[in-house]
Amino acid sequence: MGHTHQHDAETKESCCTEEQKIRIQTDTHDCGCSSKKQKHTDHEGHDHSHNANESTFKMFLPSIISLVLLLIAIVLDNYFTPIWFRDWIRIAWYIVTYIPVGFPVIKEAIESIRYKDLFSEFLLMVIATVGAFAIGEYPEAVAVMLFYSVGEVFQALAVTKAKTNIKSLLDQRPDEVTILVGPDPKIIKASDATIGDVIQLKAGEKLGLDGELISDTASFNTAALTGESKPDTKSKGETVLAGMINLNKVSQVKVTAAYNDSKLSKILELVQNATAQKAPTELFIRKFAKIYTPIVVLLAVLITFLPYLFVADYAFSDWLYRALIFLVISCPCALVISIPLGYFGGIGAASKNGILFKGSNFLDAIATIQNVVMDKTGTMTEGVFKVQEVVFDPQFDEKEMLQMVNALESQSTHPVATAIHEYVGKIDTSIKLEKVEEIPGQGLKAIINGKSLLVGNFKLMDSFSIPYDINPNSIVYTVIAVAYDKKFVGYLTIADSIKEDAQITIEKLKALNVKTTMLSGDKNTVVQFVAQKLGIANAFGDLLPEDKVNKVKEIKAKNETVAFVGDGVNDAPVIALSNVGIAMGGLGSDAAIETADVVIQDDKPSKIAMAIDIGKQTKKIVWQNIVLAFVVKAAVLILGAGGLATMWEAVFADVGVALLAILNAVRIQRMKF
């Protein structure tokens, strides 16, 4: 459980031998290994994953073959009854029918025994179906195994991708960089770059290593690291990090850290370590089989031999027959089918509502969540900047000033300029701009009608000694100050707007008795403002990815379950660490989506509460099926042991209860959430 995978410079595992990979008690998805032995990394938790390229038809093919052969056999048995379909030919036909669905289960039973998991549900399925063959109930033997195989395929379909595929994160880090050798650019592997090399970064390119900006100024998209949509303008000498995207012009960066020591590499490591802390969740049938299977097998043996000591006219064949009927009745068909189908129904219901669960175990886990911890930008807010308010001195014509600001900002590609343009509208081409100048880290300056226009932050106002009578720190949002003709005009606030359903989300979570916490890399004043507006009691800003991880660890240390909702690469480590990781799938990064256990496809936060509700309803239906199966089977098992139950009762206890459970399981797909 405490094992941490180690990787070499090319991100390949260097720590695990084949034997170690087998013994590490983690989910197969976490290791990413492809060896055949890796299928049994968790011998007490069956792996339902399939090759990503394996088609659904191929997965169902063995079941389809067995079903066709079984239907033909039933028709020949009950309707046409040809002379040739008797004795060894009939037996051989049913054996051939059984093999496509039975052989994989027999193989799994042997593998389980090999790894000292003697009593698994695979063994019970083998004993039950072989028992049915032994008493001549060939159709029953095939049908039971067929139902089981279909249930297994349903479970496999629910797991669409490995939940912690590191490959998608590696896509965030470029394999090659362009370095300057003298005046000439040269493309090399990013891992071959050394400290002191100068990287030439074109507009739109992603930085491969951490470094120091040696160009005068550059604007970067930092979303891969901070999760925040606001670009960051850097000046000469400032630190820039791997994963940042250069936005507007060719820039030069001097490498200050090795490839494996970059901030992005540390995020990758955090994801891997956090994932290793997640124990695989066992489905109920697995735990149940540990007790149920040995008891049933022991009882069958006792039913066969124990009467010899107490019954005067003991006949071995009669008691063997009772024991075999007992085994057929005891087959957990209703559970084996209805439980995966119940979860599959829950997954289907969630999918209809734009929520993707990556496995049935997460439906169970989300039903018991006590804390929902969420990111701010892109999760509870839109992730797109908009003008929130305009506060201008009445002595200035607001419309006229906005047109001038819009004209000047049209000279910039900064998202703040885009937000202003969207707010003001069409640019007034009659406004003549002269001596347009961008002042790094401060804003823009121009001459209009012979008078200077300044648009930027309050540092720009200070630089030109423009007096103003407000405290910039008292304003929550990003502020764009405006001065004209050496007079302070006022300011615009630019901010990320709160999503329409964000507040109702918090209300629904409170109604479900779920505590809420907001964590963000954005400035703390903004985070506290949004939290107060939404009614979130606990909120923390100015956090780095590792800070978010520590906050979640603090909650988990109280033995409370945590679901984390995020959308950026920086959220991937904390998503992986939480009991249930939820990613926003619309605007969210590929890394967060890949690492998450649940993906909200339309980015609506209200789906968080809906996902919890679906989990609770699914769990309720699954437990209804478990109780139904137990009660009916217990009653018929007692009758079977006493010789009062015939194969008809056995069929009802097996197939009948299974059908009832299936009908109950599909009910969730008709529910409205």
- Strands 451-456 and 443-448 turn out to be antiparallel
Contact 640, 325 (CB under 8 A): yes
539 closest CA partner among 526, 553, 549: 526
Distance between CA 644 and CA 500 in Å, rounded?
Answer: 64
HSE, side-chain direction, 13 A CA sphere, residue 206? 16
Structural tokens at position 101: 């669905």
- Tokens 């890796």 correspond to 38
541 closest CA partner among 527, 559, 557: 527
Q: What's the DSSP call for residue 161?
A: S
In b/e form, how buried is each residue of 501-529, taking b as 16+ CB within 10 angstroms?
bbbebbebbeeeebbbbbbbbbbeebbbb
Distance between CA 359 and CA 325 in Å, rounded?
Answer: 35
Contact 344, 352 (CB under 8 A): no
Q: Is 483 helix (H, G, I), strand (E, B) or coil?
A: strand
Going by C-beta distance under 8 Å and a sequence separation of 6 or more, which residues neighbour residue 194?
A: 255, 258
The catalytic position among 47, 375, 571, 654 is: 375
Q: Is 130 exposed, middle or buried (0-12, 13-18, 19+ CB in 10 A)?
A: middle
Q: What's the DSSP call for residue 185?
A: E
Structural tokens at position 434: 């002269």
640 closest CA partner among 289, 126, 138, 128: 128
Tell me whether residue 393 is one of the annotated catalytic residues: no
Contact 144, 653 (CB under 8 A): no
Distance between CA 231 and CA 412 in Å, rounded?
Answer: 13
Spatial strand order of the sheet with 381-392 comes to 381-392, 487-498, 478-484, 451-456, 443-448, 434-439
Give the residue numbers marked as catalytic.
Answer: 375
